[in-house]
Amino acid sequence: MSDDPHSPFVSRAAQGVLTARFAVLVDADGRVLDAHVTLPSGREPEHLILDGAFVEALRRFHFLPAHAAGHAQRGWSTVECALRLGPAGTVPPGARGHGGALSIRHGACRLEDAVR
């Protein structure tokens, strides 16, 4: 990551959140068959690295599959992921993880309505 305080990556990080959107193909068993970026977190090389890491993480996720007529089916969905960055050494208020506070960098992904 660039240390230049005028870098768009640093500026957006200082605001607290980087967000990207992904298309995810989920099979009838809930496994991810494909995932790719549809809206990147930014244009800097660091954003490509972050978005690539999100794609790799999404490939390991297990989702509840889409259903039609009571049967699980394969389908595309949109996932939005956000990475919240705080000043070094701080934890956002109320942030909790397994057995305690989250680290200074943490993220969340939200599954949007299924896209067919």
Which amino acid would we find at residue 63?
F
Which amino acid would we find at residue 36?
H
Distance from C-alpha of 39 to C-alpha of 51, rounded to nearest angstrom: 9
pLDDT in tens, 56-105: 999 999 999 989 999 999 999 999 988 877 665 454 555 444 333 333 33
**Per-residue pLDDT at 10:** 52
The pTM of the full predicted model, rounded to 2 decimals, is 0.65
Which amino acid would we find at residue 41?
S
